[in-house]
Amino acid sequence: MQELTMNEIEQVNGSSAACVALTGSTTIMGGAIGVIAGGIVGPGGMATGGFWGAQFGQSIGLALCSQLR
C-alpha cells in the first residue's frame, strides 16, 4: 500500500472540485444556449432545447474534465 502525502491529497481534492465546477458551468451554459435557440421555434422548443443543451454541455464538461486529470 502506498502512502499519500498532504500535497497529493490536496491535489486530488482540488482536481475534483474543479471538475465539478467545470461540468456544472458547462451544463448551465449549454442549457441556456439550448433554451435561447429553442425559443426561436416556440415554447415547446425551449424545453427541448434546454434539455438537449444541458446534456450536451455536461458531456463537454466531462470530456474536458478527463483531459485535466
Helices 43-68 and 6-39, packing angle to 10 deg: 160
Centre a 10 Å sphere on the Cβ of residue 45 and count the other Cβ atoms it contains. Answer: 15
Q: Please state, in angstroms and rounded to a whole number, the distance separating the CA atoms of residues 55 and 30.
A: 8
Express each pLDDT in 12-36 by its tens digit: 566 677 888 888 999 999 999 999 9
Weakest mean pLDDT among 1-5, 42-46, 63-67: 1-5
Number of helices (H), then strands (E), belonging to the chain: the values are 2, 0
Is 54:25 a contact under the CB 8 Å cutoff?
no
Q: Please state, in angstroms and rounded to a whole number, the distance separating the CA atoms of residues 20 and 22.
A: 6
Query: Taking 60 as the threshold, does the pLDDT of residue 69 lie above it?
Result: yes
